[in-house]
Amino acid sequence: MILHSKIFGIGFPILVLHGLFGNGENWISFAKKISKKYQVHLLDIRNHGKSFFSKKMDYDLISKDILEYIRHYNLFQTIFIGHSIGGRAVMKFSLNYPWIPKKIIIVDISPKAYSSKYYKNIIQILKSVNFNIIQTRKDLDLFLKPFIQNVEVRSFFSKCTYRKKNGKLSFCFFLFGIEKNYDSLIHKEIKDGYYKNPVLFLRGEYSNYIIPEDFFFIKKLFPKAKIITVSKSNHWVHIDNPIDFYKKVSDFLNEKI
């Protein structure tokens, strides 16, 4: 099965992979802007958005999904951008198939194993959502409020819903598939091999997903990596500071290999 995507513009292809629970829709503003020079593919990773749902989900499988997508659309000189677990997927793909990506951009994530159980707790909260009772996004926000104080996080989950044919709300992700494979996505490091082409790591100024202690590990897998901090941004760098994010991405893409 081929991953679902939205495609903007013409030119050298840029494949964008979203973060956990998200989908390609999260990147539309960026895609519309940069598609003046490139053809942008906003992919939905398996178990997210309009792509297929599966009980199996790890970075090797996601890498194969991406490879099938590239073959299906006959893409060459491909550039990759990945945020959060999408960034980890891009890293693994680049290590598995290092001859394919021309350049890669990783947004606020590193190859290390993360020990945080934050999203595991989020999953338990989301499992308790009853869409037989919760009928609107406002209802969902009110339900999540006692458990999730961060307004932006609640808003994100409210936007990650759609109405089924029967009129009921539903999440735009396969929660069971994500929960079943959470440990392999978050708690296992990305390792083995190296990618020799240019890599840009963009970290949020207020985020702790990439810390200085990670730099050596990043350089080991990606010897040409540049690690740059985007000011006034947290984990959702492209949303928190879109102007600086776009400039740093554009500057990197314009650099000759």
pLDDT one-digit tens code per residue, 87-133 = 999 999 999 999 999 999 999 999 999 987 888 999 999 999 999 99
- pLDDT for the residue 151: 93
Q: Give the DSSP letter string of 65-123.
A: HHHHHHHHHT--SEEEEEETHHHHHHHHHHHHSTTSEEEEEEES--SSPP---HHHHHH
212 three-state secondary structure: helix
- pLDDT for the residue 118: 85
Element (H, E) at 206: none
pLDDT one-digit tens code per residue, 131-184 = 999 999 999 999 999 999 999 999 999 999 999 999 999 999 999 999 999 999
- pLDDT for the residue 225: 98
Which residue in 119, 65, 130 sits closest to 93, CA to CA? 65
**Could you tell me the two tokens for 244?**
């600086």
- What ranges in 164-208 are assigned the alpha helix state H? 175-180, 182-186
CA–CA dist 249, 202 (Å, integer)? 9
Share of the chain above pLDDT 70, in %: 100
CA–CA dist 172, 160 (Å, integer)? 5
- pLDDT for the residue 256: 87
Determine how many CB atoms are found less than 10 A away from the CB of residue 224.
14
**Could you tell me the two tokens for 86?**
């999408």
CA–CA dist 97, 195 (Å, integer)? 9
Pairing state of beta strands 39-43 and 5-8? antiparallel
Give the dihedral sign, CA 146/203/92/82: positive
Give the mean model confidence (pLDDT) for residues 48-73: 98
Q: What is the dihedral of CA 63, 69, 70, 72, to 10 degrees?
A: 150
Element (H, E) at 128: none
**pLDDT exceeds cutoff 90 at 11:** yes
Give the mean model confidence (pLDDT) for residues 234-254: 97
pLDDT one-digit tens code per residue, 188-202 = 999 999 999 999 999
Average pLDDT value for the chain: 96
For residue 257, name the pLDDT band (cuts at 50, 70, 90).
Answer: confident
Share of the chain above pLDDT 90, in %: 97
22 three-state secondary structure: coil
- pLDDT for the residue 175: 97
- What ranges in the chain are assigned the alpha helix state H? 28-34, 59-73, 85-96, 118-127, 137-144, 151-159, 175-180, 182-186, 215-221, 237-240, 242-254
- pLDDT for the residue 117: 83
Give the mean model confidence (pLDDT) for residues 63-90: 97
What's at 112, amino acid-wise?
Answer: K
**pLDDT exceeds cutoff 90 at 9:** yes
pTM value?
A: 0.96
Please check whether residue 49 is in contact with residue 24, taking contact to mean a CB–CB distance below 8 angstroms.
Answer: yes
144 three-state secondary structure: helix
**Could you tell me the two tokens for 220?**
């080991």
What's at 3, amino acid-wise?
Answer: L
List, in order of start, the domains of the chain with CATH numbers.
Answer: 5-115+189-254 (3.40.50.1820), 118-179 (no CATH)
Kindly tell me the burial class for residue 136, based on how many C-beta atoms sit within 10 Å of its own C-beta (0-12, 13-18, 19 or more). exposed
